[in-house]
Amino acid sequence: MKEMMSEAMRTLKEATGFSGTALAKNKEEIFAAFSGGYANRSEGILNRVDTRFGIASGCKLFTAAAICQLVEKGQLSYDSKLRDCLPRKFEHFDQEITIHHLLTHTSGIPDYYDEDIMDNFEDLWTDYPMYRVRRPQDFLPLFADKKMKHEPGQIFHYNNGGYIVLGLVVEHVSGLPFSDYVEQFIFAKAGMKDSGYFETDSLPERTAAGYIDRKDGSWKTNLFSLPAKGGPDGGAYVTAPDMVKFWESLMTFELLNEETTSILLRPHVHIADDIYCGYGLRMKLRQHENHEDVEKYIIMGYDPGVNFRSVYYPKEKRSIVVCSNKSGGAFEIISGIEKEMI
């Protein structure tokens, strides 16, 4: 794909030291496509449009889509109680927690990384080595025996642990490992041939290493900062073109039928101001005289050495994807692209 960017975007890219790939599409027309920085700094390998990037929590939407597929098949319902979906019993979890609660971050269960009380994601692996974490069940020792934070359905509280549990439900109901299910029934169906849940110690070609820049100008990779393999709450690798394919497949009902897609994309829980939570994503609503509708859908991901933002404007059929292999930069780039497109 040929590089395309305005002079303003070139200036912004240089000013932010952007390392990653950005792709913006208006219906069938490519509006912007460019990369910056290095996929591998040691070897001087540049990022390209077809480079694979980790997207952290950006892939909670894949987990939500997987759950919705199982509901569509009649193997599950949004009102199903967690206690009825898994053979494992969680001693301290409320018996009334439903799949809907988990999807909307309203379950109240404890989280393995609670941003209210923790500042550094890397601290998780001090006593529990990240190289042991390769399956959804490997996350459970970090939160499964903790007490509830609040009653189910009471408040929105962003929760990674809830999506780990949803991944376990996908495994139990489908009979497949979580990553296999998503790769077979989400990525393959959407034509996302370059995407997958890769292990950090055996990455395929064209995969960007994640970089953490220190204040003194030195840097390190995020190899020892993240789980060895991503899971239902985050950690898949995608290319920017593959992420555009995902949006298009979701919005044209190739992954879910029209009714199920509308449920996934519905504003289920109010977060703040004009931002609402759907299943696996957020959305911004715009107010009209007599009604309101969705201006854009939003997914994002933040990990040490990973920064991801993507939006989809349903009315305009406009998609923007920004993948960065540094801890920041995606928000500035996507904001600049939105300003130019709108």
For the chain, the average pLDDT equals: 94
DSSP-assigned letters across all residues of 306-340:
EEEEEEEETTTTEEEEEEESSSS-HHHHHHHHHHH
Q: What is the mean pLDDT of residues 212-219?
A: 94
Tell me the β-bridge partners of 297. Answer: 283, 312
3-class DSSP assignment, residue 88: coil
Helices (H) and strands (E) in the chain, counts: 10, 14
The token pair at 30 is: 């490519």
Q: Is 338:311 a contact under the CB 8 Å cutoff?
A: yes
Start-end of H helices in the chain: 7-16, 60-72, 82-85, 99-103, 160-174, 178-182, 188-190, 240-251, 258-264, 330-341
Q: What is the DSSP string of 57-69?
A: GGGHHHHHHHHHH
Q: Are 124 and 113 in contact (CB under 8 A)?
A: yes
Confidence class of residue 16 from pLDDT cuts 50, 70 and 90? very high
Q: What is the mean pLDDT of residues 102-130?
A: 85
Helix axes 60-72, 160-174, angle to 10 degrees: 40
Residue 129's pLDDT is what? 86
Res. 38 pLDDT band, cuts 50 70 90? very high
pLDDT tens digits, 173-208: 999 999 999 999 999 999 999 999 999 999 999 999
Q: Over range 114-129, report the average pLDDT.
A: 77
CA dihedral 141, 56, 114, 82 (to 10 degrees): -60
Separation between Cα atoms, residue 164 and residue 234, nearest integer Å = 9
Q: What is the mean pLDDT of residues 66-71?
A: 98
**pLDDT tens figures, 295-310:** 999 999 999 999 999 9
Q: Up-side HSE of residue 289: CA atoms within 13 Å toward CB? A: 0
Q: Give percent above pLDDT 90 in the chain.
A: 88
Tell me the pLDDT tens digit for each residue of 141-169. Answer: 999 999 999 999 999 999 999 999 999 99
Per-residue confidence at 125, pLDDT binned at 50, 70, 90?
confident
pTM: 0.96
The domains located in the chain, with CATH, are 7-341 (3.40.710.10)
298 touches 281 (CB < 8 A): yes
Nearest Cα neighbor of 209 from 321, 35, 52 is: 52
pLDDT band per the 50, 70, 90 thresholds, residue 244: very high
CB 61 within 8 A of CB 47: no
pLDDT at 289 over 70: no
pLDDT band at 334 (very low <50, low <70, confident <90, very high): very high
Residue 226: which pLDDT band, with cuts at 50, 70 and 90? very high
Local confidence band at 82 (pLDDT 50, 70, 90 cut-offs)? very high
**So what's the pLDDT on residue 1?**
76
Mean pLDDT of 133-145: 94
Element (H, E) at 45: strand 45-46
With cut-offs at 50, 70 and 90, classify the pLDDT of residue 122: confident
Q: Does the pLDDT value for residue 126 go beyond 90?
A: no
Q: For the beta carbon of residue 226, count every other beta carbon within 10 angstroms.
A: 24
